[in-house]
Amino acid sequence: MLLAIDIGNTNISCALFKGARIKKNWDIPVKNYSRASLLKHIKGKKLCAALICSVVPQITGKLSVDIAGINGIKPYIIGKDIKIPIKNLYLNQKQLGADRLVNAYAASMIYGHPVIVASVGTAITLDVVSKNGAYLGGLIQPGLKLAISILASKTALLPGIKLKDPSGIIGRDTRSCILSGVILGAAGSIDSLVEKIRLKTGRNTPVIGTGGDITLIKKFSKHITKVDRELTLKGINLIYEK
């Protein structure tokens, strides 16, 4: 089996693949990561390889050492040991997060191109693949939890709140106002940006949603075509098979 790992700023998402099928997947919060939290999932598993896609270098090194100690396999780091097989038109490719390019590649391979990926996590990113299968670039804005955190930390009276579905477009107390503003605002922003991107890629360009908070956005977005929460992990597996 292949061990695929996506290290994000908030969560470490892991999956065991047998061919194209996910046999098991799980998340570990970055702040709670320990060797033991990984050990219980992979101890005794017969792994053919391990691939890591990461935007948190300090966790990458620790995870690599732990995997080698548990299973005797040295993981490959995507972007360092293995290139992502998609034409990349980003001007400064060293600045591009590997997860964004993996998502673009996965969406292109699974759903065809052109395609737009809307990833809603710590940040909200839109990534675009052209009709010729080239990665064009994208957009970045603050994620839902980050937006709420900024409001709480940078204002005197606005509280920190937990994410949940807004009760309606017009909030009737401060908490509901924040939820409506942050979640509906993000969904509206994504839809507006998608409309502008489609002027370049074609009006029927599909939008694939992914990321930890995508379900909060999907029901309020008119342009997200499909949600694929395991898109990055599937991309890692596709890269391994390639």
Secondary structure tally for the chain: helices H, strands E? 8, 11
Residue type, position 143, single letter: G
The CA distance from 231 to 235, in Å, is 6
Please pick, among 6, 27, 81, 99, the residue that the annotation labels catalytic: 99
Helix/strand/coil for 9 = coil
Using CA atoms, how far residue 210 sits from 99, 133, 204, in Å, is 11, 20, 19
Strand locations in 69-206, DSSP E?
Answer: 76-77, 87-88, 115-120, 123-129, 134-142
Question: Any catalytic annotation for residue 191?
Answer: no
Q: How far apart are the first and last CA of the chain?
A: 15
Q: Contact, 141 vs 123, CB < 8 A?
A: yes
Provide the residue count of the chain.
242
Beta-carbon contacts of 10 under 8 Å, excluding residues fewer than 6 positions away, are 29, 30, 121, 122, 145, 212
Q: Which region holds residue 219: left if phi is over 0, alpha if psi is between -120 and 50, else beta? A: alpha
Instruction: Read off φ and ψ for residue 46, nearest 5 degrees.
Output: -85, 100
- Residues catalogued as catalytic: 99
